[in-house]
Structure 1
Amino acid sequence: MINSGPVGVFDSGVGGLSVLAELRRALPHEDFLYLGDTAHVPIGARSDEEIRDLTDRAVAALHARGAKAVVVACNTASAFSLSHLRSRFDMPIIGLVPAVKPAVQATRSGTIGVLATPGTLRGTLLADVIQQFAVTAGVRVLQAVSRDLVPLVEAGLADSPQARAVLREVLTPLADAQADQLVLGCTHYPFLAGSIHAEFGDTFTLVDSSAAVARHTRDVLNRGGLLGPQHTAGTVTYLFTGDVDAARRVVATLTSPGVHNGQHLPAAAGPASGPAPAPLRIERVRT
């Protein structure tokens, strides 16, 4: 069975582009609708009810545009909204789980760190996976939190002296405690990889869940008979609730060929040479 509808991807801002990059690697023939709720970012400091409401409105907007499934590419929104969304919408809803399990499996020092937002720390999802995978394995988990990092990524300053100063402040205690794995508990944080490496070298192995979420999404679509046509390259349409011009500049930077998770890596599809990429499809939406 073939379903030509797009896959929706939601985040509070541009952080979910790190997940979108992995989704496009795993599902190169699928069309995607990316919705960044930049009018309300960051959402981590908002109330539980407001987080659920904003997420519900965004997923409803993607559903109205024909999305056949939605990936909630935001750790905070996943922590507070998945059960509600799955009860309301008749399509697969895929969320994020902090990548504590692979970090626990990989640690050599017996200590791992989690870099998260206030909202993710406030929810129960992170605490549950720490209890399930780290506590039972006797692995110590140290948590670091900052309200400043998400706005810096949103402003296109992931690789900047300001970002490095914040990272130096919040991550030095983890480095001093011999943490060797760092779980990136927010989809904005993979774009800080370059700054983290600039400050801490190889102290931490950075771990995030985007590749695992992409594989899971591919499996869900396959099992549900929702895969799209396999003979054409997929497209992306970007939807933002806030300033489109500002979003366009940041998206252009974070999705430029060969740039992924803050590092220069091979592009997801095709060689670097060839025709110039098509202009970004970006629209302003209300949710």
Structure 2
Amino acid sequence: MHDAGPVLVFDSGLGGVSVVRAISQQMPRIRLVYVADDAAFPYGDWEDDALRTHIVELMGRLIAQYRPTAVVIACNTASTLVLPALRARYDIPFVGTVPAIKPAAEQTKTGIIAVLATPGTMRRDYTRDLIRKFASLVHVRLVGAPLLAAFAEARMRGEAIDERSLAEQIEPCFVEIEGRRTDMVVLACTHYPFLTDLFDRHAPWPVCFIDPAPAIARRLASVLEGRRVDGGPGTAAFTSGRPVLAPVLQVLRQYRLAVA
């Protein structure tokens, strides 16, 4: 394990920037390296075994290149699939991203919550285990949304998105049972916080959308306690090697990330 280095934040695309934002707010002095595996986006199209092998092998190359103090897997799909394999293979702390089902179950006033996820996260046994463990006393609507991550990517690139399709994707979250309504929606994808203003616009009634990023940042701070971490501006890299568009550069600059 390396004595000092940056924190590596990894996602399939741009969604993990929401986690970078939360980390930067809580720990503004640490250096972050953000890696978007856009060559493989979206992860939901992959078979589990192939995706697990791909991420574990790619992570080995990234660790060798950046020598990070810790790694944040800023992706629910990847976290629910590959964290055990990564921790077994590499002697470095990994902080994962899991759906914020426990706080939603604790905070609901109506006893009805929804988990808005990618299809990959929705079908994981890990997600259902969290529901059984922490939300057995509330009604949970598990909603797989195949288009939202791509909508977030497009929006961050400055492209228009189909808001009617977005509204259709979130509609199953809103449940009414005997006069009680959904009041908590867990955003179980790090892309989704970049769409919350549109979610609010198209929601049939007000709900609390729970962003997992602040909890991830708090967990990282705990993991880093007593460890040396590099400081200074961060960098961003994209596995596809494609040119980075101006709107994306603008988003990255907000969080002190320069494209490598």
Is TM > 0.5 for Structure 1 vs Structure 2?
A: yes
Query: Can you list the C-alpha shifts for 1:48-101, whole angstroms capped at 9, x where unaligned?
Result: 112212221332232112111100110000001001000110110111111011
Distance 1:86 1:100, change over 3 A: same
TM superposition shift of 1:20: 0.9
TM-align CA RMSD: 2.3
Correspondence for 1:114 = 115
Moved over 6 A (4+): 158-161
Percent identical residues: 35
Counterpart in the other structure of 1:261: none
Cα shift readout 1:184-221 (whole Å, capped 9, x = no counterpart):
01111111111111212762101022111111111111
Does structure 1 residue 168 correspond to structure 2 residue 167?
yes
CA contact (8 A) 1:157 1:163 kept: no
Matches within 5 A, 1:245-260: 245-246=243-244, 248-255=245-252, 257=254
Equivalence for 2:56: 56
- Once the two structures are superposed, the pairs formed by residues 176-195 of structure 1 within 5 Å of their partners are 176-177=175-176, 178-195=181-198
Aligned length: 254
Superimposed CA distance per residue, residues 100-124 of structure 1 (whole angstroms, 9 cap, x where no aligned partner)? 1111111111100111001101212
The 5-angstrom pairing of residues 1-287 of structure 1 reads: 3-64=3-64, 65-135=66-136, 138-156=137-155, 162-177=161-176, 178-200=181-203, 203-222=206-225, 225-228=226-229, 234-246=232-244, 248-255=245-252, 257=254, 281-283=258-260
> 5+ residue gaps in structure 1?
258-267, 269-277
Q: Tell which deviates more after alignment, 158-167 or 193-202.
A: 158-167
Paired with 2:39 and 2:157, the residues of 1 have a C-alpha distance of 19
> Could you say what secondary structure the match of 2:155 adopts?
coil
Amino acid aligned to 2:23? L
Q: Take 2:198 and 2:158, find their aligned partners in 1: how far apart are those partners? A: 5
Give the match's secondary structure for 1:162. coil
Deviation at residue 254 of structure 1 after TM alignment: 3.4
Matching residue's letter, 2:220: T
Q: Which runs of 5+ in 2 are unaligned?
A: none
CA contact (8 A) 2:157 2:248 kept: no
TM-score by length of 1: 0.81
Per-residue deviation, residues 249-273 of structure 1 (Å, max 9, x unmatched): 353343464xxxxxxxxxx7xxxxx
